[in-house]
Chains A and B, each alone.
Chain A
Amino acid sequence: MSAHDKLLGLAARPKVAVHKFSSCDGCQLAFINDAVSLLELSTLVDIVHFAEAGPLDEFAEVDLAIIEGSVNTKHDIHRLEMIREKAKYVLCIGACAITGGIQALRNYQDEKGLLSWQEGVYPQRTDVIIAEDLPTAKPISAYVPVDFEIPGCPITSIQLVSAVRAILFGVEPEKNVDSVCVSCKHAGITCVMVAKGEPCLGPVTANGCEALCPSLGRGCYGCFGASKYANIKALKQQFRDMGLTEQQITHKFQFINSQDAGLQGE
């Protein structure tokens, strides 16, 4: 079903809920930090649940559930299933909801390794933590069907408002297929990898930040996840040729979006 067909039944003034799972709250700030947009949005939709901003009705029937964060606990699987059941559409915002985010670095630990982390951080009552912790931090789509996604760590207010506007118009939010390199070229930013020898994930990272890091003279570290035509193999070879160790290269790819399918490869 196309997004257009899917969105045909959307109410003229939809009910919207904003939910948080495991995250830093930074993507919700795309609403709150731009309070003018939040006030404007509140005239277009009914915000029935948005704990950080105030309204509370967690399991209300809604047209659109906007979800931030990854799933790391047993309780959250249950909560997510309830939210999905009550929502016509689910829009995931940010790296945590889409790929598991930085906390998905735990997924590289075996059971014993994770136990050592749990004991290291919560030495007195590790049992309370173990009872709830899942072995992995996973994206929302690992547990329930997801309709739309906005990538980024964090997402921007413009991305969010554009996506909500698009959905209100009955169209799918635009997906950016380009890499960060495209923004560098548009903005006339000198390539930091070529000119300064800074390792940069820009060639394989989805655009959306307007080449923020290269504009500050530093390499991209992959906040927006893999770009559509990412050539992982070629970039890893480039990093080797620049003298990076295998561990340094692994760390580059295993960071904000380590579980992103598009960032895997030799």
Chain B
Amino acid sequence: MSLDKTTKIEIPILARVEGEGALDLEITKGQITKCDVRIYEPPRYFEKFLEGRAPNEIIDAVARICGICPLAYQTAAAGAMEQVFGIEISQWAKDARLLMMLGQWIQSEYLHIHLLATPDFLGYRSGIEMAKDYPNEVLRGVRLQHLGNDIMKLFGGRSVHPNGVKLGGFWHSPKESAVKAFIPRLEAALKDAEDVIKFVSGLTFPDTTIPFTQVSLRHPTEYPVIADHIVTSDGLEFHVNDYDKHFREFHAPQSTALHSTTLDGRPILLGPLSRINLNFDRLPKHIQDMANATGVQFPSKNMFHSVIARAVGSYWALERALQLCHAYTYTDTPSAPEKVCAGDAWFAVEAPRGVQIDHFTFNAEGKATNIRISAPTSQNLPCIEANLRIALEKFGLDRPDHEIQLHAEMVIRNYDPCISCSSHFLTLNVTRK
């Protein structure tokens, strides 16, 4: 292959990601001259059709942005609205929302580890193919995934578009017996989760360093799921209300997803790797020891270590869920009284893929007049593009197109991109000049 002419590689559709997208790669004289992740997931205009809607309709609607992390949208929207209206939710509701969010983490992270990510590391085209040679590992992943789904069902009736969260708290309080029934399952799951950490530690990771600003939520006492502070690897820590003072959201023409960067245009990295890097001190000592035993030193700047970050973060999630189930009591007031007023507020949660942050403005009748919903995948897009440039140059641009394609896909899948969210699939076009 000559390096001084234009060549085209096409990945018609990026597989094992959620949503529709494509990658345009142009290589001129052995250098990447264009690297555009094109999101062509059709716009659905949630921010617009929800204007004028009642708060509880908004909570039911935002779930439909994404079937994989519906609860992150619901929790952030409910949280923002409660702040606007001055509704103080009970500790019971806070714990229940955390438990349900942990269920979503567990579901989504183990799905990604087993069906979407590890097939890349082990040389399979899909989790279905991998299951033939690794039946026990895949079934272990499925068990953990189901456990996460079932925790979500406790409060929401179903794991995709759950119906539990309302303005002020929840529609109902599950019976104590139903929650306590999860204790033995969670205890058994910890052994599985420990085995998953060992399993992913044994994978071979390409050596790629990405120098980008990492961003995560920061909780005053524990690993962040629902929190009001943002922390960055640049040493900044600030309240979510100041999001726009540090980051900028813009529309890139190749995409129906909005992109985010720092104000001076640098990519930002959200997700499990940033979370563990910036919150290692918030993990209990024994989980830190488990993370250190993987052979990876956190903080890590190698995005391929995301799979280990997912496995460790999910172990913590299972342990925290177990504590919450032990402490759970039934309440006959699962919701604080609803009220509305004019105002605006920010609210953020850690979706499995990273910080999901909303800003809502309401009028005095409690109707939304302006809505901003920033999905983690959108915010990650400039970082995905920049990471691809570094990873592919390191991998070797003179390699055959199909190898470049596979490596590019593997880089992108580290982000577990959720493209329905970010615009709500990926074709790779490589041009060599």
| A→B interface (CB under 8 Å) | 20-30, 32-33, 35-36, 38-39, 42, 47, 51-56, 58, 72-73, 75-76, 101-103, 105-106, 117-118, 120-125, 128-129, 132-133, 137, 153-154, 156, 209, 212-213, 215-218, 221, 223, 248, 251, 255-256
Contacts and interface: CB of A to CB of B under 8 A. Distances in A.
Given A53-B127, A153-B64, A223-B161, A26 B70 contact: yes
A75 B43 CA distance: 13
Interface stretch (B16-24, B238-246, B288-296): B16-24
Contact of A23 (B14, B57, B125, B420): B420
B61 A102 contact: yes
A42 to B, nearest CB: 5
Which 9 A-B pairs give the minimum distances between C-beta atoms? A26-B67, A54-B126, A103-B44, A105-B49, A72-B42, A117-B48, A125-B253, A212-B157, A22-B42
Contact of B49 (A36, A42, A106, A212): A106
B402 to A, nearest CB: 13
A36 B142 contact: yes
B347 interface: no
Interface in B56-99: 57, 60-61, 63-68, 70
A245 to B, nearest CB: 11
B131 A39 contact: yes
Given A25-B66, A52-B18, A218-B166, A122 B43 contact: yes
8 contacts: A22-B41, A24-B424, A29-B68, A52-B15, A53-B127, A209-B157, A213-B157, A217-B172
B238 to A, nearest CB: 25
Given A25-B19, A58-B12, A128-B253, A154 B163 contact: no
B42 A26 contact: no
Contacts of A76: 42
Given A26-B64, A33-B149, A42-B128, A53 B41 contact: no
Nearest to B56: A218
Contacts of A25: 18-19, 66-68, 420
A255 B61 contact: yes
A132 B42 contact: yes
Given A25-B68, A154-B67, A213-B157, A54 B15 contact: yes
B60 A52 contact: no
B293 to A, nearest CB: 28
B381 to A, nearest CB: 14
A103 B161 contact: no
Contacts of B111: 32-33, 35
Given A54-B129, A124-B251, A29 B17 contact: no
Interface residues of B, number: 67
Contacts of A256: 64
B45 A106 contact: yes
Interface string B24-53: 000000000000000011111101110001
Contact of A56 (B13, B48, B64, B158): B13
A153 B18 contact: no
B126 A51 contact: no
B9 to A, nearest CB: 15
A218 B163 contact: yes
Contacts of B64: 24, 26, 101-102, 153, 256
A257 to B, nearest CB: 12
A54 B16 contact: yes
Contacts of B253: 124-125, 128
Contacts of A72: 42-44
Contact of A35 (B17, B49, B142): B142
B93 to A, nearest CB: 14
B128 A47 contact: yes
Contacts of B327: none
Contacts of B49: 102-103, 105-106, 117
Contacts of A105: 45, 49
B160 interface: yes
B425 interface: yes
Nearest to B370: A120
Contacts of A42: 128
B151 interface: no
A104 B425 CA distance: 22
